[in-house]
A = this chain, B = another copy of it.
Amino acid sequence: MSEDARFGLSRTVTLPGPLRLDGGVLLSPVDIAYETYGTLAPDGGNAILVCHALTGDHHLASNHPRTGKPGWWTRMVGPSKPIDTDKYLVICANVLGSCLGSSGPATINPATGKPWAMAFPVITIRDMVRAQAMLLDHLGIARLFAVVGGSMGGMQALSWAATFPERVAAAVVIASAARHSAQNIAFHEVGRQAIMADHRWRGGDYYHDSDPPASGLAVARMAAHITYLSEAGLTAKFGRRLQARDAKTFGFDADFQVESYLRHQGLSFVDRFDANSYLYITRALDYFDLAEEHGGTLANAFRGDTRFCLVSFDTDWLYPTSESRTIVHALNAAGAPASFVELSSPFGHDAFLLESPELDRVIGGFLQNGTPR
């Protein structure tokens, strides 16, 4: 493990598998792109797995090798940060189904020598977690000091505790939910239909030329992006302010700043994300229902001795506080140790990625309390 001690070591491992998926398919091989930060303690007891959100990647706290941009959670992860890489070995892996290094529709199907495209098997959040468990086996990490994630990352943290309770001492679940609501599914279905409506999608077979369904993917991203922000946040940031020319054009250009902003969100997204991966990962999210996986009773998902920390944000309407409360009630019913805090933020769901000293304190404190050393 000595190599992993370097800060932000990025690599991809190809594991032979097979990985048995919830859909019944055996996937083999399984590529997993991941980064590690810090050093594994001699007793192996200081590993923290951070799980990323829908469109995230494993470049957690180091600069992105291609864009040069800082990792997506540098605020939280690093030396003397709340997830302190001087104390913990921190691991972040690109999720199964994604397009940023791990196996997904854009990777090669060994049976054909061509990209899987829509022949890639439909995956679940639990399948993502199983792939991560294979990675930990490969890294020789038997048990996690903690698994930490926001949004879809929080669902993976929940699924880790439910699927491998003996391997998770603590789980931090931020701005997340134990299931996707009808409204969540509806927004994702809009995104999927936008992608499939793009004539360049071609049933997912678009990898052979450089003409992906970028317009549809941009629309999908725009719709989703609205759900990441609060109405109050949008009003504060943009309101009805017009673009620089400061007059309505009586046309269909982006007159309002919020239009221009959304268009930019859509356009910049298609440069970094694969449309088919967007289909697969939104499907995994929609399928997620931890209670259903446990006989319809959420408390049954929590039978280990994992301790939990839950955080929600008061303006998050994608995964509102009520969803976290549902989890807390189930944890209480299961007798699992759980702390819960609703933080105040104007930024809606996106708050978990933004500057938040309170969130830093909550996570830092929770991890600190579990540190036996």
Convert A208-239 into 0s and 1s, putting 1 for each residue whose CB lies closer than 8 angstroms to a CB of B.
Answer: 00000001101100110010010100110111
Question: Do the beta carbons of B240 and A187 come within 8 Å of each other?
Answer: no
Known: A121-B250, A183-B231, A238-B182. A258 touches B222 (CB 8 A): no
Known: A197-B198, A252-B283, A283-B252. A259 touches B185 (CB 8 A): yes
A239, B254: Cα distance in complex, Å = 36
Q: Which of A176-196 contact B (CB under 8 A)?
A: 179-183, 185-187, 189-190, 192-194, 196
Which residues of B are found within 8 Å of A183, using beta-carbon distances?
A: 226, 229, 231, 234-235
Which residues of B are found within 8 Å of A292, using beta-carbon distances?
A: 240
Say yes or no: is A122 at the interface (Cβ < 8 Å to chain B): yes
Say yes or no: is A314 at the interface (Cβ < 8 Å to chain B): no
Q: Which residue of B lies closest to A283 (CB)?
A: B252
In the complex, how many residues of chain A place their beta carbon closer than 8 angstroms to a beta carbon of chain B? 57
Say yes or no: is A372 at the interface (Cβ < 8 Å to chain B): no
> What distance in Å separates the Cβ of A209 from its nearest Cβ neighbour in chain B?
16
Question: Do the beta carbons of A186 and B234 come within 8 Å of each other?
Answer: yes
Q: Which residue of B lies closest to A288 (CB)?
A: B240
Say yes or no: is A73 at the interface (Cβ < 8 Å to chain B): no
Which residues of B are found within 8 Å of A194, using beta-carbon distances?
A: 194, 197, 219
Question: Do the beta carbons of B185 and A258 come within 8 Å of each other?
Answer: yes
Question: Do the beta carbons of A222 and B181 come within 8 Å of each other?
Answer: no
Q: Which of A293-331 contact B (CB under 8 A)?
A: 317
Convert A75-94 into 0s and 1s, putting 1 for each residue whose CB lies closer than 8 angstroms to a CB of B.
Answer: 00000000000000000000
Question: Do the beta carbons of B222 and A193 come within 8 Å of each other?
Answer: yes
A292, B242: Cα distance in complex, Å = 12
Taking A122-B250, A122-B252, A194-B197 as given, write out 9 further A-B residue pairs in contact, using a Cβ cutoff of 8 Å, ordered by the A residue number. Answer: A182-B237, A183-B235, A186-B226, A186-B234, A190-B222, A190-B223, A193-B219, A193-B222, A252-B283
* A positions within 8 Å CB-CB of B: 22-24, 118, 121-122, 179-183, 185-187, 189-190, 192-194, 196-199, 215-216, 218-219, 222-223, 226, 229, 231, 234-235, 237-240, 248, 250-252, 254-256, 258-259, 262-263, 266, 279, 283, 286-287, 289, 292, 317
A and B contact pairs by CB, cutoff 8 A, 29 listed = A179-B240, A180-B240, A181-B231, A181-B235, A182-B231, A182-B234, A182-B237, A182-B238, A182-B239, A182-B258, A185-B240, A185-B258, A186-B222, A186-B226, A189-B222, A189-B259, A189-B262, A189-B263, A190-B223, A190-B226, A190-B262, A193-B215, A193-B218, A193-B222, A193-B266, A194-B197, A197-B215, A197-B216, A252-B283
